[in-house]
Amino acid sequence: MKSPFAVGDRAVYPVHGVAEVVALENRDLGGKQISVYILKIMDSGMKLIVPTANAATVGLRELIPAKEVKEVYEILRSRDVPRDTQTWNRRSREYMEKIKTGSVFEIAEVLRDLSVLRATKELSFGERKMLDMARGLVVNELALAKGVGKDKIVAEIDAIFTVAQA
């Protein structure tokens, strides 16, 4: 079976973000040879080993195509989110579930919701941490999908939420 990723490809690993496939190797696991991806997370430099047969199961996916970037920006700009009356604890669990999906669209919703919330109240430490995580994941993927620097994406996102707060 042909592997969907080749050495040098970039892929997204849930929660950790964009990774580069640095090697495709065969490893001995319990006397059985299995094919694995060696991934290097671009932000942290952390290395992960993912069996190729389990890649889809763990949520390893390709970067979004450039044509879908617009949809992420639409999510960030939308403000028709219902006013949330849940406790932070419950909201936190829901946000983390969205981040764990690895979907840039779900993560963009977390970024949007927490950014909007930040305009109305001071975020707790946990909320700020989650906002930073969501922001980093979205910025990294959009920068690669658009072929631009992270600074440009940060400025575009900042502009969206600055306008929204005005």
Kindly give the residue spans of alpha helices, DSSP state H, lying in the chain: 55-58, 69-77, 88-101, 104-120, 125-146, 150-165
Among the ranges given (29-33, 68-72, 96-100, 160-164), the one the predictor scored with the smallest mean pLDDT: 160-164
The tens digit of pLDDT for each residue in 44-77 reads 999 999 999 999 999 999 999 989 999 999 999 9
Tell me the pTM: 0.87
**Radius of gyration from C-alpha coordinates of the chain:** 18
Class of 10-62 in CATH = mainly beta
Question: Is 80 or 72 the better-scoring residue by pLDDT?
Answer: 72
Fold of 66-165: Methane Monooxygenase Hydroxylase; Chain G, domain 1 (1.20.58)
Max Cα-Cα span within the chain? 62
Residue 1: per-residue pLDDT: 46
C-alpha 19/C-alpha 39 separation (Å) is 6
Indicate the domain borders of the chain: 10-62, 66-165
pLDDT of residue 166 exceeding 60, the answer is no
